[in-house]
């Protein structure tokens, strides 16, 4: 498990030797953005919740710590297939406060407000800061909770919410916010009467949350469509639930196959959750065959990808979480692509890093114009956030020469054993303590996790 922030370990970097066509089979992990709201939902019940197919991610570790500090019992086990099993019991909650350090560590913990209000009638969180991809406001969350009857007081960086009881009501979201939809569903399941959420987000992770809550005894209907109805119940029980596969991790491995000119089989994938990504990659000339029954996708490179335009939109539109990765593919495509990021305010942190590798990209506001080049060149790069970091790994896999990437901690937030699974597909990607010291670049190939030998860093990185 990734260690918590604060326990300062030596800096680590990824070293990637580009040019290998990925080949083989990879099993997709459980969805980060499904397990996170479900872990928050465990606060609603004193019953035991057992999740299977749980990815071992940094963000899951943060949510685990938040739950333990609230008084819940959380225990990891390993399932028969080697994937994570999380047992959570929030029978004895001793606090309604989500500590500031953990809110800063993971802003999406804001969706603990709904469950805490539903179970305890109180919640105290800190305003989650913005992050590399935008200011990340929470007005939709707070408006909806107030509509359900919560009194919300903002005191500096803290938000206190109280509700003697939550009353079902009709809420119309200004934007189909994923987190606000999840927060309000969770607040409404124990409210008195019926709540209707209109202009709700439609992501598959919200459908998975609905299925889990209904297993606990809640009465939620309509997730996956833009109107969700929740009939409040008095209490919830326990349940076991298998997490849906991570569609963004799957999409990331699909682009890894396409950008390296390889052929990869993905197991444990739900193609319906990836329709916009599959359509766009096919438009770019990538060969994709799907077996929905067997939950398998085969991705095969056939020729240099063609340039394609796309615009990120709420589900089922093209997912914003795949924009950086597909931009990396566009950077080496034949032609010019116009990419519009309509969901987040500033999700182009990967652009200056791709330009350092020789990409030709111009941005204006939320639009990026990418003129494809034949080949990128490895460089020393900084990952500004999770998905930008993934995009830079993909670019490094395809580039000529060596790439050294800082910001491994970002990757650990959303990709389980990322470099290990890429290596299983033939990639030459290694994690090194930095600065390198004796031992591991002998022959120009870093050993896995070893210490690199004493060399001048600039010369070494330049390869």
Q: What are the residues binding ligand EPZ (CB under 6 A)? A: 32-33, 36, 108, 134, 136-141, 175, 177-180, 201, 320-321, 343-344, 386-387, 414
Burial 415-447 (b: 16+ CB within 10 A, else e): bbebbebbbebebbbbbbbbebeeebbeeeebe
Left (φ > 0), alpha (ψ -120 to 50) or beta: where does 19 sit?
left
> Three-state DSSP class for 239?
strand
CB-based burial of residue 456 (10 Å sphere; 0-12 exposed, 13-18 middle, 19+ buried)? exposed
CB atoms within 10 A of CB 73: 13
Check residue 107 and report its DSSP letter: G
Output the smallest distance, CB 346 to ligand EPZ, in A.
Answer: 10
**Minimal CB distance to ligand EPZ: which residue?**
179
The rounded distance, in Å, linking the Cα atoms of 127 and 36 is 18
The rounded distance, in Å, linking the Cα atoms of 194 and 226 is 16
Output the smallest distance, CB 381 to ligand EPZ, in A.
Answer: 18
Output the smallest distance, CB 138 to ligand EPZ, in A.
Answer: 5
Residue written as tokens 């929030």?
A: 90
> Three-state DSSP class for 387?
helix
* Closer to ligand EPZ by Cβ: residue 108 or 403: 108
Closest CA to 125 of 108, 146, 148: 108
Instruction: Name the β-bridge partners of 86.
Output: 51, 76
Output the smallest distance, CB 286 to ligand EPZ, in A.
Answer: 22
Q: Would strands 12-17 and 287-291 be described as parallel, antiparallel, or unpaired?
A: unpaired
Closest CA to 398 of 459, 329, 300: 329
Output the smallest distance, CB 59 to ligand EPZ, in A.
Answer: 7
DSSP 167-210: B--EEE-SS--HHHHHHHHHHHTTSBSEEEEES----HHHHHHH
Q: Annotated catalytic, 131?
A: yes
From the list 50, 131, 279, 369, the catalytic residue is: 131
**How long is the chain?**
463
Output the smallest distance, CB 91 to ligand EPZ, in A.
Answer: 26
* Closer to ligand EPZ by Cβ: residue 134 or 237: 134
Output the smallest distance, CB 213 to ligand EPZ, in A.
Answer: 16
Contact between 423 and 400 under an 8 Å Cβ cutoff? The reply is no
Burial 266-300 (b: 16+ CB within 10 A, else e): bebbbbebbebbbebbeebbbebebeeeeebbbbb
Contacts (Cβ under 8 Å, ≥6 apart) of 38: 49, 51, 208, 209, 212, 241, 243
What is the H or E stretch that residue 329 is in?
helix 323-331
* Closer to ligand EPZ by Cβ: residue 106 or 191: 106
Here the tokens at position 193 are 């009467």
Output the smallest distance, CB 281 to ligand EPZ, in A.
Answer: 19
Output the smallest distance, CB 212 to ligand EPZ, in A.
Answer: 15
Check residue 131 and report its DSSP letter: B
Catalytically annotated residues: 131
């Amino acid at each position: 498990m990734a260690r918590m922030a604060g326990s300062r370990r030596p800096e680590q970097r990824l070293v990637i030797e580009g040019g290998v066509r990925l080949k083989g089979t990879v099993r997709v992990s459980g969805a980060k953005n499904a397990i996170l709201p479900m872990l928050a939902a465990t606060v609603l019940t004193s019953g035991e919740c057992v999740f299977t197919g749980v990815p071992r991610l940094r963000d899951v570790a943060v949510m685990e710590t938040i739950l333990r500090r609230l008084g819940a019992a959380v225990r990891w086990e390993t399932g028969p297939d080697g994937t994570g099993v999380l047992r959570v019991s929030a029978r004895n909650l001793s606090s309604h406060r989500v500590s500031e350090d953990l809110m800063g560590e993971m802003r999406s913990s804001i969706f603990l407000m709904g469950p805490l209000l539903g179970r305890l009638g109180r919640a105290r969180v800190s305003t989650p800061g913005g992050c590399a991809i935008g200011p990340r406001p929470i007005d939709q969350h707070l408006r909806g909770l107030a509509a359900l009857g919560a009194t919300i007081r903002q005191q500096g960086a803290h938000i206190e919410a109280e509700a003697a009881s939550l009353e079902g009501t009709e809420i119309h979201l200004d934007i189909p916010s994923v987190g606000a939809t999840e927060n309000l569903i969770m607040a409404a399941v124990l409210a008195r009467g019926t709540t209707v959420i209109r202009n709700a987000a439609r992501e598959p992770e919200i459908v998975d949350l609905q299925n889990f809550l209904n297993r606990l005894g809640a009465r939620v209907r309509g997730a996956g469509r833009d109107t969700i109805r929740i009939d409040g119940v008095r209490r919830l029980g326990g349940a076991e639930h298998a997490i849906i596969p991570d569609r963004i991790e799957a999409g990331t491995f699909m682009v890894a196959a396409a950008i390296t000119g390889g052929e990869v089989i993905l197991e444990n994938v739900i193609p319906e959750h990836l329709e916009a990504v599959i359509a766009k990659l096919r438009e770019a000339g990538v060969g994709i065959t799907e077996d929905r029954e067997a939950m398998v996708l085969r991705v095969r490179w056939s020729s240099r990808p063609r340039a394609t335009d796309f615009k990120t939109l709420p589900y089922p539109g093209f997912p914003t979480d795949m924009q950086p990765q597909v931009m990396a593919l566009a950077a080496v495509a034949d032609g010019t692509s116009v990419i519009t990021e309509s969901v987040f305010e500033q999700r182009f942190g990967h652009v200056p890093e791709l330009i350092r590798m020789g990409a030709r990209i111009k941005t204006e506001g939320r639009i990026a114009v990418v003129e494809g080049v034949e080949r990128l060149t490895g460089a020393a790069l900084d990952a500004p956030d999770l998905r930008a970091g993934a995009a830079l790994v993909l670019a490094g896999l395809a580039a000529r020469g060596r790439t050294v990437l800082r910001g491994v901690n970002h990757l650990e937030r959303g990709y389980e054993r990322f470099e290990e699974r890429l290596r299983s597909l033939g990639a030459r990607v290694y994690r090194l303590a930095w600065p390198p010291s004796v031992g591991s670049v002998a022959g120009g190939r870093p050993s896995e996790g070893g210490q690199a030998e004493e060399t001048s860093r600039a010369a070494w990185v330049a390869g």
